[in-house]
Structure 1
Amino acid sequence: MEYKITVRDFLALGLGLAFISVGIDHFNSPCWYEPIVPSILPNPTFWVLASGFFEALFGLLLIIPRTRAWASVGMAWMLVVLYWANFNMWYNDIPLSGKTYDDIWHVRRLVIQIVLILGVTWIGQVTPFKGREKLHDSLDIFQGRITSSGFQTGDRIVVGAWNSSPFGTFTDIMWAKPDGTRVLIAPTQEIADYVTAMYSFDEVILEDIVSREEGRSLSVKCKSMDLQFSWKKGFAIPFKRSLLFIATVELFFARLIFSTRTYGLTRNNRQEWYAIDRVSNLSYASANIDGEDIGEMTPMNQPCKFGFSEAPKKPASCEVRTHIL
């Protein structure tokens, strides 16, 4: 059977050779890399040489089609782990060859790391769904939008507006009061039972909830609340990711950048994955609770403690696909 050379083959060759070169350089010039090894690790030279070995090894395996998929997974994990050294350099302002770098440089370096991780997983074809996840028929899948904001009174509100779910189209509201009381507002008892089995609440309110999304705005109304949100264009993640990727690589960067989690266990020990398709910062939020205005939007400075993950500290609206097993 004739083998057709693809774009992935060319990229695998180029990236593989680059990693082999960098790996060899770790052996030729270990002193250059040693300053950024986190101080908690003993014997920096060992870790520099070890990272160089794996960079060269995974680079070689990435070039070979038969080992490419495994190499891309290993390389993605390696890039996640190795960023610890880069972050250490950033956080502690460590100079290399006597030169320090500003925050913009380090942000660019982080972006490069993310692009590399996405690139190697794309090359190995482990990032996109291959048709459907193997567990697809066992998953409860919710597709819609999660919008969250804090307010001047200390109230924190998280709205899930679901276009598609096992319960059809519906909206629910999670509300953390200033005193820490956690309230769920749900449209039906069935939905309330489902949500409270997975998340922690001190009070449950059943009310009809009407939500309407127009452009980049969302209005949510029920007997207890009148909510209005608007958001900026934000940025999209233009491809699907496997649940494994979401639970590992994406989880790491979600915690690092947004202080959130994209994977975890629910209260009733079910696995849950958040596949974020677009992240947008809010430009406006208002809330009336029982007829009283609770002030302007603020960051989510205190945790809500509904479940294993918290909403982003900065008020945001995210297009999301939630998978529950």
Structure 2
Amino acid sequence: MTRARFRGQITGLGSTSGVRVVVGRWRSSPYGAFADAMLERPDGHRVLVAPREDVARLIAATYVFDEVRVEPVEVGVRGDHWRLRSPSLSLEWAVGRRTWLGRVLRCVPRVVAEATWFTVLTDPVARLVLPGVRTRGRARDGREWYGATDHHAVVSLTGSYGGRDLGGLAPIDPSPRFGFSSTPRRPSLTSVVSTVEVGSGR
């Protein structure tokens, strides 16, 4: 088994069209800086949009998808406004104030919040406070740990997928079925350190 650590932000987005999207913007990883998107259509079809083959292989070894698209993915940030662009997916969303959860997370020393052992304590709390959310568990081909350090609400969304308008912002309901953990029902942006352990043969 080999471990990889990713530092960045995860944004969970629901839309009035029924498409739910999880965007990862990773500033630091063994694969360099990159962005990816996982989306589930209203009919349950799950799609990974990844910028490179090696990134796609790792994510597909961790989560479950019906379709994998390898195409350029760019995420830009200007103040509180975020934008994702790829050939098939276009998103713009605005990030609001830090939530009560974000204020709590900011009180935890970063070295503690990022440690995999700390998820023994945070996982039962996450299950209770944020139904469907886990901070540790079995991934598709190994294990994964989430260490959250901040949390903000998302307050608006526009975008399209496959040329079709996604509508406006909506709760992430039902939860997308990518793996052992989901995002909170309320659209939000979480600063996180993700530690992934997968089989060395992947």
What is the TM-score when the length of structure 2 is the normalising length?
0.88
Mapped to 2, the partners of 1:275 and 1:216 lie a distance apart of 23
1:222 aligns with 86
Cα RMSD after superposing both structures: 1.3
Task: Kindly state the Cα deviation for residue 315 of structure 1 after the two structures are TM-superposed.
Answer: 0.4
Pairing partner for 1:301 from 173, 181, 201: 173
Offset from partner CA, 1:98-146 (integer Å, 9 cap, x none): xxxxxxxxxxxxxxxxxxxxxxxxxxxxxxxxxxxxxxxx631100110
Offset from partner CA, 1:262-282 (integer Å, 9 cap, x none): 1111100x2211110111111
Unaligned residue ranges in structure 1 (runs of 5+)? 1-137
Task: Kindly state the Cα deviation for residue 285 of structure 1 after the two structures are TM-superposed.
Answer: 1.4
Pairing partner for 1:311 from 175, 180, 183: 183
Pairing partner for 1:182 from 30, 40, 46: 46
Pairing partner for 1:321 from 169, 193, 201: 193
**Matched residue type, 1:243:** T
Confirm whether residue 263 of structure 1 aligns to residue 136 of structure 2.
yes
Offset from partner CA, 1:204-238 (integer Å, 9 cap, x none): 11110111122222100000111011111312423
Between the two proteins, the alignment pairs up a number of residues equal to 186
Confirm whether residue 288 of structure 1 aligns to residue 160 of structure 2.
yes
3-state DSSP of counterpart to 1:139: strand
Confirm whether residue 245 of structure 1 aligns to residue 115 of structure 2.
no
Q: Which has the higher strand share?
A: 2
Offset from partner CA, 1:51-100 (integer Å, 9 cap, x none): xxxxxxxxxxxxxxxxxxxxxxxxxxxxxxxxxxxxxxxxxxxxxxxxxx
Confirm whether residue 162 of structure 1 aligns to residue 61 of structure 2.
no
3-state DSSP of counterpart to 1:233: strand
Mapped to 1, the partners of 2:128 and 2:165 lie a distance apart of 34
CA contact (8 A) 1:216 1:233 kept: no
3-state DSSP of counterpart to 1:196: helix
Mapped to 1, the partners of 2:146 and 2:78 lie a distance apart of 24
2:146 aligns with 274
Mapped to 2, the partners of 1:295 and 1:302 lie a distance apart of 17
**Matched residue type, 1:264:** G
Pairing partner for 1:153 from 7, 12, 17: 17
Mapped to 1, the partners of 2:189 and 2:158 lie a distance apart of 14
Mapped to 2, the partners of 1:283 and 1:303 lie a distance apart of 19
Unaligned residue ranges in structure 2 (runs of 5+)? 198-202
Alignment of 1:90-169 (within 5 A): 139-169=3-33
Mapped to 2, the partners of 1:206 and 1:221 lie a distance apart of 13
Mapped to 1, the partners of 2:194 and 2:79 lie a distance apart of 22
Task: Kindly state the Cα deviation for residue 290 of structure 1 after the two structures are TM-superposed.
Answer: 2.6
Q: Which has the larger radius of gyration?
A: 1
CA contact (8 A) 1:182 1:306 kept: yes
1:207 aligns with 71
Mapped to 2, the partners of 1:258 and 1:232 lie a distance apart of 19
Q: Between 234-243 and 314-323, report the one with greater CA deviation.
A: 234-243
Task: Kindly state the Cα deviation for residue 320 of structure 1 after the two structures are TM-superposed.
Answer: 0.6
**Matched residue type, 1:199:** Y
% same residue: 32
